[in-house]
C-alpha cells in the first residue's frame, strides 16, 4: 500500500537545530523526527533501541530492521556520525548482518539547513547549504537514505538498507573539510558514472549470511547539458531509481544459479522510495529547499557538481 511521507525542516516551529554540529546535536534532530516529534509535528513512529551516549539505533515498522548511529571518533564532537544498517541488534557490540559503516558530517556555518522526509518504514536525511542551487560544487552537502526499499520482492528478508554513498564502502569523515568529499552522498547519483559505484551491501532474500553489491541502474541522459534559465520546465520525464546486482549480467548466486535467474540474489532488488531522475535538469536560480510539481510535489535535491540537477524526491506519495 502506498504511503504518504512527512516532511520535517530546520525552519519548522520548534524544530531542533544543528548547534555546534556535534554527534548529540545531529542525532537529536533525527530522534525528534523518528521518535519524539517537535512543535506540532508528530514523529514517524520508529522504535528506539540502543540509547548509549555515543551510539543509538532505531527500528522501523516495516521490515523491523535497524539503523545504528555512532560517533565517528567515540567523542561527542563535530567530526561526523557513522551510519550502519543491521538485521538485528543484540547489544552495542553485537550487531547481526550489518551493512557498510558509512558516515555523514555537518559543518557549523555550512550545510546546517536540514530536511528529513520519511515514513514509518524509510526516510531521507539532508543537511545542505540554504540559498541558491548554484552554490559552488565544492561546498559540502549531506544526503543519505535509511529504510525498506520500495517494489521489493515479496518475502525479501533483507530489503532494509542504510546508504550515505554508492561510491564508497566504509567511510571515515573525520578529516574531510567543508570543501572536500562533496561527492560522498546520494546526490552524487546526479552525475556519477556507472564504473564509480561500489554498491550497497544487501544480504540474500532468504535470510542467508551471503550478500551481494547492488548499484543504481544506469540513469538516462546523464551527460551535462545546458542549465535551464527559467524557473519552469515545459515537459519532463520521471524515472525511478532501482538497485540492480552489480554482476547481474555475468554473476552467479551461492547455489550457482545465474543472477538473472536467481531468487535469492536477484538481479533487481527494489527502488529507492519516491526518488526519481528527470530527463531535463532544473534551474540553478531556485532556492533550497525548492519543490517542483510533476502532478505531485517533489523536493529538488541539491546538486554536488556543475551538471543541472535531475534528482527529485516525491513528498506526497511513496510506493510500498
What does the pLDDT average to over 10-30?
98
Domain count, the chain: 1
Choose the most confident range, by mean pLDDT, from 32-46, 131-145, 168-182, 215-229: 32-46
Question: DSSP strand E in the chain: where?
Answer: 6-9, 47-52, 55-59, 66-71, 81-91, 94-98, 102-104, 113-118, 122-128, 131-132, 142-148, 160-163, 200-203, 211-216, 238-245, 268-282, 287-288, 291-294, 296-300, 309-314
- Please give the pLDDT value at position 231: 72
Q: Does 1 reside within a domain? A: no
Q: Does 46 reside within a domain? A: yes
Q: Does 319 reside within a domain? A: no
Q: Does 320 reside within a domain? A: no
Q: Does 172 reside within a domain? A: yes
Which residue range forms the structural domain that includes residue 104?
Answer: 6-314
- Please give the pLDDT value at position 196: 84
pLDDT single digits (tens) 29-72: 999 999 999 999 999 999 999 999 999 999 999 999 999 999 99
Residue 2 reports pLDDT greater than 70: yes
Closest CA to 314 of 276, 272, 270, 284: 276
Residue 221 reports pLDDT greater than 60: no
Amino acid at each position: 500500500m502506498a504511503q504518504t511521507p512527512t516532511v520535517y525542516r530546520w525552519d519548522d516551529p520548534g524544530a531542533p537545530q544543528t548547534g555546534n554540529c556535534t554527534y548529540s546535536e545531529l542525532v537529536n534532530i533525527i530522534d525528534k523526527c523518528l521518535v519524539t516529534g517537535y512543535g506540532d509535528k508528530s514523529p514517524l513512529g520508529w522504535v528506539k533501541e540502543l540509547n548509549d551516549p555515543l551510539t543509538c539505533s532505531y527500528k522501523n515498522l516495516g521490515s523491523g530492521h535497524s539503523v545504528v548511529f555512532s560517533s565517528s571518533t567515540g567523542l561527542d564532537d563535530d567530526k561526523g556520525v557513522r551510519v550502519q544498517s543491521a538485521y538485528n541488534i543484540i547489544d552495542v557490540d553485537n550487531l547481526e548482518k550489518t551493512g557498510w559503516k558509512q558516515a555523514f558530517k555537518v559543518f557549523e556555518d555550512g550545510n546546517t539547513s536540514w530536511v528529513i522526509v520519511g515514513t514509518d518504514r524509510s526516510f531521507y536525511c539532508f543537511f545542505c547549504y540554504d540559498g541558491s542551487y548554484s552554490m559552488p560544487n565544492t561546498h559540502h552537502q549531506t544526503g543519505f537514505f535509511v529504510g525498506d526499499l520500495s517494489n521489493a520482492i515479496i518475502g525479501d528478508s533483507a530489503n532494509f538498507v542504510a546508504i550515505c554513498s554508492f561510491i564508497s564502502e566504509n567511510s571515515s569523515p573525520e578529516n574531510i573539510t567543508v570543501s572536500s568529499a562533496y561527492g560522498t552522498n546520494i546526490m552524487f547519483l546526479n552525475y556519477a558514472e556507472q564504473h564509480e559505484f561500489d554498491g550497497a551491501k544487501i544480504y540474500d532474500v532468504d535470510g542467508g549470511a551471503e550478500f551481494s553489491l547492488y548499484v543504481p541502474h544506469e540513469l538516462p541522459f546523464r551527460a551535462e547539458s545546458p542549465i535551464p534559465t527559467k524557473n519552469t520546465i515545459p515537459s519532463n520525464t520521471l524515472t525511478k531509481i532501482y538497485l540492480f546486482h552489480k554482476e547481474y549480467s555475468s554473476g552467479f548466486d551461492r547455489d550457482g544459479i545465474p543472477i538473472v535467474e536467481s531468487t535469492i540474489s536477484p538481479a533487481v532488488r527494489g527502488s529507492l522510495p519516491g526518488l526519481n531522475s528527470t530527463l531535463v535538469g532544473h534551474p540553478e536560480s531556485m532556492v533550497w529547499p525548492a519543490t517542483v510539481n510533476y502532478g505531485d510535489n517533489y523536493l529538488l535535491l541539491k546538486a554536488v557538481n556543475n551538471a543541472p540537477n535531475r534528482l527529485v524526491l516525491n513528498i506526497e506519495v511513496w510506493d510500498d
